[in-house]
Structure 1
């Protein structure tokens, strides 16, 4: 044997790659079916994690709990995800992408700016007030995530808000009205719908019409015709003559 092939007190030769020490803080999972990447299994994990984040919040949800709900060992979960932070970001982004698709689909049949705004408002209310929707509770976790995660989430939210930025930019608003403030107030109203909406007196579609009337500065009398919305403002009654007002007093 040559010196290159001699062993060093073990069965490994100098040509063999060195053995890497196991990482600390992470359980070494046994070779199981969960150790093999599987798109369906990963989707199941995402759905389980999304429900836990929505129910308990970001901080109170642990990787161990997600793994237990999925019927896995904690270490096996890392074959499907990189970290808790990356998992939350992916779920957050998917929720906003799904919401964006729904809002754009709702606006698609309309061309008039006000009709597009009403459609977008109505769909946003449906998304935010749906008990089975995870969009709102996932978005409400924003303040509890680490700062480096927030920076990533903000980029996605800015991307989503371009939908409403484009709508508001197309509206025939008075030149002195600031469109950014207009958009911020509108989105704040829609994004907090769960704090002020109560079932019963008005439907969600009717509330969307009221929101449109307020932001359009119209009286809340709206007529629908073939996919467009026409709002008519009734003229206020004229004050009676001064003589009649004094007589009535």
Structure 2
């Protein structure tokens, strides 16, 4: 379940982040800058990307570039928030229309893995670069991350879990696992959908056993 490829008017590949930018009230040049910055942040990380690097990629330097951006820090926060919103919108769309709480959790996990394991996705590299950003930047990103995780808070609140299980710990364990699949995943084996189904089956084990008993 990989992200579908979109293309711009010139026929060049357009990332999911780029698709989100097309919905905004931005000039073509401003979109180019955000796309270039997102790609560089994903490729090199926040610390190794400079404003000069971004300007060189789009052919703008000095004052011309700062006409569109306030600072590298503000740019990273904006792109990070857009990327996270793209992921949130996809997950919400995937669970929309489903009523069974376990099916909703499965759809959310599969969609999150599809985003994370897509080699062309910018969303997860930006999210995973959180630790390299300065403390003051991380503080600005936490609000958006908390809002993203609230989706899973709601999904897990609806599950028929054993009352002895702490749902907060359950959620943290699940998100930690989902966020780290990319560290061991290799193409050619199980698909993101297969992995998502297995993860939910493992987290559902006690509920299944109780039902069967």
TM-score by length of 1: 0.72
Aligned equivalents of 1:131, 1:120: Cα separation in 2: 19
2-structure distance, mates of 1:112, 1:217 = 16
Larger CA Rg, structure 1 vs 2? 1
C-alpha separation in 1, matches of 2:189 and 2:124: 23
Give SS of 1:199's match. Answer: coil
Deviations 1:10-31 (A, max 9, x none): xxxxxxxxxxxxxxxxxxxxxx
Match of 1:54 among 36, 39, 42: 42
Residues 1:110 and 2:95 are matched in the alignment: no
- Relative to structure 1, is the Cα distance of residues 45 and 128 closer, same or farther in structure 2, using a 3 angstrom cutoff? same
Deviations 1:37-78 (A, max 9, x none): 962211110000000011111111110110011111222111
1:105 and 1:38 mapped to 2: Cα distance? Answer: 25
Task: Please report how far the alpha carbon of residue 84 of structure 1 lies from its aligned counterpart in structure 2 after TM superposition.
Answer: 0.4
Q: Determine which structure has greater relative contact order: mean sequence separation of CA pairs < 8 Å that are 6+ residues apart, divided by chain length.
A: 2
Cα distance, 1:199 vs structure 2? 2.3
The TM-score, its normalising length taken from structure 2, stands at: 0.83
CA distance in 2, matches of 1:234, 1:97: 36
The alpha-carbon distance between structure 1 residues 59 and 117, as it changes in their structure 2 partners (threshold 3 A), is: same
Task: Give the structure with the higher percent helix.
Answer: 2
* Structure 1 residue runs without a partner (length 5+): 1-36, 220-230, 237-249
Partner of 2:160, secondary structure, is coil
Deviation of 1:234 after TM superposition, in Å, equals: 11
Q: Aligned ranges for residues 125-140 of structure 1 at < 5 Å? A: 125-140=113-128
The alignment's C-alpha RMSD in Å is 2.1
Secondary structure of 2:98's partner? coil
Residue 21 (structure 2) pairs with residue 44 (structure 1): no
Name the CA distance, whole Å, in 1 between partners of 2:96 and 2:192.
Answer: 19
